[in-house]
Amino acid sequence: MCGIVGFIGKEEAAPILLDGLSRLEYRGYDSAGLAVYGEDNGVRVVKTKGRLQALFDLTQGGATLHGAVGLGHTRWATHGEPSDVNSHPHVSERGRFVVVHNGIIENYAELREFLQRKGVRFASQTDSEVVAQLLEYHYREDFLEAVRKTLGQLRGAYALGILCADAPDKLVAVRKDSPLVLGHGDDFQMLASDVTAVIKYTREVTYLDNGELAIITAQGFQVYDSYFQPVEKERHHVDWEISAAEKGGYEHFMAKEIMEQPEAFRKTVFPRIRDGRVVLDDLCFDRDYLGKLDKIYIIACGSSYHVGMVAKYNFERLLRKPVEVALASEFRYSEPIVTKSTLALVISQSGETIDTLTAMREAKRLGARVLSIVNVVGSSIARESDDVLYTWAGPEIAVATTKAYSTQMALTYLIALYFADLMQTISREEYSEVVSELLLVPTKLEQILAQRDSVQYFASLYFNQPSIFFIGRNIDYAIGLEGSLKLKEISYIHSEAYAAGELKHGTISLIEPGTLVVALASYGPLFEKMMSNIVEVKSRGADVVGLTVESRVEGIHRIADHVMEVPDTHPMLLPSLDVVPLQLFAYYIALQRGCDIDKPRNLAKSVTVE
């Protein structure tokens, strides 16, 4: 979703803003713009529909815009089509206020009408422009007073960057529900939607909390709470390298991130296993609390939801407690049954997905204790949870998640083991076996990745398919959901994931000669049943690519046309291995089809609107 960058200092702002925007491209956008204030020219704005390269060309890499203070923006259209005029920054009618916005101003229509009645003329169809016009309307030679009055009238979610031509020695940043971070240099300050945009210039950052406002000058900054009282903020040091957010020789971020999975898994899991035991220092659950749990609600969206679908099988088997997996966007409006004895497990890579965040708040309001799994340190979900476990996946830039999914999954294993151990619902033997197997997963992932050529070959056979089905049972079904989503997202091929036993209750009518079915058959207890389901689709003419573990390859080879295999492991850990060939399959198909793999159409990385 929209990306914001701001800079105030001594150097030319435009090239820095363009660089920052290029690092936010992964969030998904359809237009981009810059506003720079220079003493000679006042405010100059350049904005355009399309890719950042167009903005780069229009400004000759920023060289045509002079000034040491400015704002940049990448827009993901919500209100008003992608167009030059709807792009940000938006400027008030008299040219005094410049605004970039991420989020949605829910009452924009009534504000717009109000301003139009006062004679204000709007240039765009966006909700965001009302902020710039409202600032101008309230302006009586006091920038901050205008900000205060404007904020008092806004409803919705917003991160704002504001520049006032009458006070060009400062920028104002405001955060409500949409993320914003400040970056601090010796003689400059920055603001951005996330740290990737500032990390090249500084590693010292401050995360704004909900409702906070910051006044930023080249020398420093002051943060205020929603009552405009000054607040002291903790500074954070970002310790990952800029190279983590660069392609490092790979054609796409997605390929790099797929290949990083063994390391990401190691980083997330190994420090949390000591002397054969899972040690989650950050958590303090006890047996009594867990024993009284009435339910575990897993709340998430998209791929994170698919992690929850797998976790349900593992949790229910090991803990013997009911687990409900809810799509965050549905949870909030479904009158969920949550009590003080409910644990909400919230899963989110970005920690900013608005559906997940608001569902989490609802779960908390209803009395649940919230444990979250989050990748982005300091994100809203992390800060508002009762307990948080971080995935140490590093920055994930490709829109389609891979290493974040894998590390989220890894943490669900650790939580399942940690709870089962406390509740004494797991045998010593199984506990030790799973822990030993966990330590082998990264090496097994490396083995799978080393054989990626064979997956590329299968992709070359099927990249022209109009539709692809994924079938599986139990945990295999849950992994199929993720394989199918990956394919849809980046290759634009229609795909469905089905519980294999359910196929004959309707969907099998879509299977015809040549239809590709990817059949997941790695889960041992249901292997025979899966073989029957494969025969069912084969006898309707389907082409079948099977996916199974080494020890069962022979069984499936007799029926399927092609087979992808992964090493054997404990059944509960299978998702970590199985998902990788499916990620590669989607990747290579999209590659063959010439798709924009890292930035698929219509998608955004961090979905900060409902």
Mark whether 284 is an active-site residue. no
**How many Å apart are CA 38 and CA 163, to the nearest integer?**
12
3-state secondary structure of 438: helix
Residue from 312, 444, 486, 605 carrying the catalytic annotation: 605
3-state secondary structure of 134: helix
**How many Å apart are CA 148 and CA 366, to the nearest integer?**
32
3-state secondary structure of 171: strand
Mark whether 595 is an active-site residue. no
Instruction: Report which of 302, 331, 305 is spatially closest to residue 399, judged by C-alpha positions.
Output: 302
Per DSSP, what are the bridge partners of residue 98?
91, 163
Sign of CA dihedral 137, 142, 146, 152: negative
Q: Which is nearer to ligand F6R, 178 or 202 (CB)?
A: 178
Q: Which is nearer to ligand F6R, 353 or 548 (CB)?
A: 353
Instruction: Report which of 168, 165, 184 is spatially closest to residue 222, judged by C-alpha positions.
Output: 184
Which of 127, 257, 384, 489 contacts ligand F6R by CB under 6 A? 489
Q: Which residue is nearest to ligand F6R (CB)?
A: 302
Is residue 495 near ligand F6R by the rule CB under 6 A?
no
Residues in the interface with ligand F6R (CB under 6 A) total: 14
- Min CB(197)–ligand F6R separation in Å: 17
- Min CB(260)–ligand F6R separation in Å: 15
Residues 220-259, one symbol each (x = binds ligand F6R by CB under 6 A, - = not), give ----------------------------------------
The footprint of ligand F6R on residues 419-478 (CB under 6 A) is none
- Min CB(151)–ligand F6R separation in Å: 27
- Min CB(303)–ligand F6R separation in Å: 3
Decide: 549 and 569 in contact? Cβ < 8 Å: yes
- Cα–Cα distance list, 233 to 188, 208, 224, 352 (Å): 18, 8, 10, 20
The footprint of ligand F6R on residues 257-316 (CB under 6 A) is 301-304
Three-state helix/strand/coil letters over 248-317: CCCCCHHHHHHHCHHHHHHHHHHHHEECCEECCCCCCCCHHHHHCCCEEEEEECHHHHHHHHHHHHHHHH
Phi and psi at residue 355, in whole multiples of 5°?
-60, -45
Residue from 2, 164, 301, 595 carrying the catalytic annotation: 2
Q: Which is nearer to ligand F6R, 199 or 301 (CB)?
A: 301
- Min CB(315)–ligand F6R separation in Å: 19
- Min CB(546)–ligand F6R separation in Å: 24
Q: Which is nearer to ligand F6R, 338 or 374 (CB)?
A: 374
**How many Å apart are CA 377 and CA 24, to the nearest integer?**
17
- Min CB(271)–ligand F6R separation in Å: 22
Q: Which residues of 334-344 are buried (b: 16+ CB within 10 A; e: fewer)?
A: eebebeeebbb
Q: Which is nearer to ligand F6R, 2 or 130 (CB)?
A: 2
Q: Which is nearer to ligand F6R, 179 or 262 (CB)?
A: 179
Q: Which is nearer to ligand F6R, 48 or 401 (CB)?
A: 401
- Determine the Cα angle at 572 with ends 568 and 574, to 5°: 40
Q: Which is nearer to ligand F6R, 65 or 597 (CB)?
A: 597
Take residue 454 and report the two structure tokens written for it.
């064979």
Residues 382-421, one symbol each (x = binds ligand F6R by CB under 6 A, - = not), give ------------------xx--------------------
The footprint of ligand F6R on residues 340-379 (CB under 6 A) is 348-350, 353, 356
Q: Which residues of 297-309 are buried (b: 16+ CB within 10 A; e: fewer)?
A: bbbbbbbbbbbbb
| Cα 314 from chain centre | 24
- Min CB(293)–ligand F6R separation in Å: 24
- Min CB(375)–ligand F6R separation in Å: 8
Per DSSP, what are the bridge partners of residue 389?
373
Q: Which amino acid appears at position 541 of this protein?
A: G
Is residue 607 near ligand F6R by the rule CB under 6 A?
yes
42-49, strands of its sheet edge to edge: 42-49, 31-38, 69-75, 3-8, 189-192, 181-184, 204-207, 236-237
Contacts to ligand F6R by CB under 6 A: 301-304, 348-350, 353, 356, 400-401, 485, 489, 607
- Active site (catalytic) residues: 2, 605
